[in-house]
Structure 1
Amino acid sequence: MGTVTAEPARTEQAGADVVAVSRRKARRRAVLVVLVLLAAFSAWALFDGGVQLYLQRFFDGLANGFLYGLAALSLVIVFKATRIINFAQGPMAMLGCYLALTLLETWGVPVLVAVVIAMAVSGLGAAALERALIRPFDQDNHMAIIIVTLALFLGFNALAALVWGFHPKSFPSPFPQGTEATIEIAGARLPYQAIGIAVLVVATVVVLELVLNRTRLGLAFRCVANDVERSRLLGIDIGRTVQFSWALAAAVGTLGACLIAPSTYVDPGFMNKILVYAFAAATLGGLDSIRGALAGGLLTGLSVSLVTGYLPGVGSELGLVVAFAVIIAVLQFKPAGLFGNRAMERV
């Protein structure tokens, strides 16, 4: 009797193993295609403009790519738990950056301390927001929740304009800046700020992986991300887990905004453009993959930098067009992204 009852379980496990192997092969093929295309374009760019120009645009693309990847992480965290795109993520990060700037200007708090405080307050605010405006809706009613996030998108932009005005403000960098704070490689300059951002973003991804894989709340998060109904049957508090995802995403988004702000100006809409690049990065890497968000951000940053820098008629002002082209191409040929998992339903 034991053999008979164990047979379906073994069959199901074998089927799952076959699916996993197939996914890994498809993922490797997709990554290989992208790398071949990038290498081919890079070879042409080197021939067209030389090593120094290519390296400078490559470094610029990587620096922007780490920032896009960090912004994409905030989208991925919420999507993994809810299967919802939080359109208010950009304005929420913008408010967190304004909070850090207020601490800097009003209280003279050191920049790193101000960023950490802003992340904590943003996380608490997002948790309260989820409890008040998101949780009352049925989690399966995606349209209603998306409309709420769109309303928050408009409301937060208006709130920032009302409180801080439209005048652009500068934000100090936590890393050394200036012409002296660079490393020169074959004539191209790699700023210390870009190196610091890269290290901080990679560290953030590592911490997120540890939190999601080594803590009880992270285990609950992964269970909810995989199967909401089974998680509910196991006694997992779905509301608390979704609230955790909103808080974590808001903290990560605030960090991203504070790292982006030194290279731009802080105004009520400065994160809206970044949100488009984050969408492209998350779509390319996979909306349910933490590591994929970083990989997608790097590939998006390189694509925008190289395409706008080398293709005739495509200037830097058309960078958003390149980002939208990335989104359309991924949705057409690899909807799950390079590192995402295609949704499967048992019938």
Structure 2
Amino acid sequence: MSVFIQIVISGLETGSLYALAALGIVLIYQTATIINFSQGEMAMFASFLAFTLWRGDLPYIVAFLAAIIFAVFLGGFVHRFCIRPAHKASKIGRMIITLGLIMAIDGLAAAIFGIDSHYMRPAVAADNIVVGDLILRPNALFIIGVTIVIMLVLFYLLNNTFWGMAIRATSQDETTARLMGIPVQRIHMLSWIIAATLGAVTGVLVAPTTNVSTTMMMEVHLKSIIAAVLGGFGSFIGPVVGGFIIGIADNLIGYYVSLTWQTVIVYGLLIIVLIIKPYGILGKNPGKKV
């Protein structure tokens, strides 16, 4: 039983990172109805910045906060100069812009930071905590705790502040929100800023596992999109649930079944769930106006 609990805790650690990134993807989708395929690359660039500052003998917390501040400006910049000017383009056209950003950010990161892989210390470098037969890693507990706190704060802001209500109103009906005086373009920019910030936090926290490189976020970004699909793009809670499910299932299947078949089985289960619930576990059929 202790082994099972150990694996679940490990799954919660990775799942919380998927959930954070997935929440940012869903936030942009709900307000702008596009998927930001470049979120992983934006997180990677912020992680490189944190690594560079940390390697330059700045305290870890300073490097972490610098990555978050950079992500705020990066999210705002991408929206203002890449997405907003293309507001008349189709949804597919705007999503292709985010695909173009993948190549642009990858190339810029390689030119500035190089293509080598670098080690970055975990957020909490402390001895493991032994509780009976369980071995708890302080960094894993920190990641789970930070994720829960961020989500609680974000959900509180979404439900109890003007900007949160404006985001929800824009996600439900952008035209009506604009007629009610809500600054829709500012809401779109705010969504990009929050999503970029969530991505940066995910990138810095996952860096000790993947090492800092131009490809560090590939798997995390893919699984965060899958988590959003699994939980449902129509709900802010959905991507969180999907992230934890993917993380726990990944670890359980890898241990009890096979590492070789781990990915195949997890994605197979995803396909089965989506056949039963096409709009995700917590998603709803948006209907179609005719």
TM-score by length of 2: 0.93
Equivalent residues in 2 for 1:163-312, closer than 5 Å: 163-177=112-126, 180-185=127-132, 187-311=133-257
Pair 1:147-2:96 in alignment: yes
Secondary structure of the structure 2 residue equivalent to 1:136: helix
Percent of pairs with identical residues: 31
Whether the 8 Å contact between 1:276 and 1:323 is mirrored in structure 2 is: no
Equivalent residues in 2 for 1:85-124, closer than 5 Å: 85-106=35-56, 108-124=57-73
Structure 1 residue runs of 4 or more that deviate by more than 6 Å after TM superposition: none
Secondary structure of the structure 1 residue equivalent to 2:278: coil
CA distance in 2, matches of 1:326, 1:212: 31
Whether the 8 Å contact between 2:234 and 2:283 is mirrored in structure 1 is: yes
Deviation at 1:212, TM superposition (A): 1.6
Name which of structure 1's ranges 122-131 and 136-145 shifts more when overlaid on structure 2: 136-145
Aligned length: 290
Query: For residue 287 of structure 2, what is the aligned residue in structure 1?
Result: 344
| Residue ranges of structure 2 left out of the alignment (5+ in a row) | none
Secondary structure of the structure 2 residue equivalent to 1:290: coil
CA distance in 2, matches of 1:324, 1:139: 35
CA distance in 1, matches of 2:89, 2:234: 17
Deviation at 1:232, TM superposition (A): 1.8
Q: Which has the higher contact order (CA 8 A, sep 6+)?
A: 2
CA deviations on 1:230-262 (whole Å, 9 max, x unpaired) are: 112212222111111001100011001111111
Q: 2:22 aligns with which of 48, 67, 72?
A: 72
CA distance in 2, matches of 1:139, 1:96: 29
Deviation at 1:55, TM superposition (A): 2.8
Secondary structure of the structure 2 residue equivalent to 1:189: strand
CA distance in 2, matches of 1:219, 1:58: 35
Amino acid at match of 1:73: L
Query: For residue 268 of structure 2, what is the aligned residue in structure 1?
Result: 325
Query: For residue 3 of structure 1, what is the aligned residue in structure 2?
Result: none
Could you say if the C-alpha distance between residues 142 and 327 of structure 1 is closer, same or farther in structure 2, counting changes exceeding 3 Å? farther
Deviation at 1:165, TM superposition (A): 1.3
CA distance in 1, matches of 2:148, 2:5: 22
Whether the 8 Å contact between 1:78 and 1:85 is mirrored in structure 2 is: yes
Deviation at 1:75, TM superposition (A): 1.0
Deviation at 1:194, TM superposition (A): 1.2
CA distance in 1, matches of 2:67, 2:234: 26
CA deviations on 1:268-295 (whole Å, 9 max, x unpaired) are: 0110111111112111222232322222
Whether the 8 Å contact between 1:276 and 1:320 is mirrored in structure 2 is: no
Secondary structure of the structure 2 residue equivalent to 1:270: coil
CA distance in 2, matches of 1:332, 1:175: 41
Query: For residue 48 of structure 1, what is the aligned residue in structure 2?
Result: none
CA deviations on 1:77-133 (whole Å, 9 max, x unpaired) are: 111111211100000000111111122122x32212221221121111111111111
Secondary structure of the structure 1 residue equivalent to 2:65: helix
Cα RMSD of the aligned pairs, angstroms, is: 1.8
Tell me which structure has the larger Cα radius of gyration. Answer: 1
Pair 1:334-2:281 in alignment: no
Could you say if the C-alpha distance between residues 323 and 77 of structure 1 is closer, same or farther in structure 2, counting changes exceeding 3 Å? farther
CA distance in 1, matches of 2:170, 2:146: 28
Could you say if the C-alpha distance between residues 77 and 139 of structure 1 is closer, same or farther in structure 2, counting changes exceeding 3 Å? farther
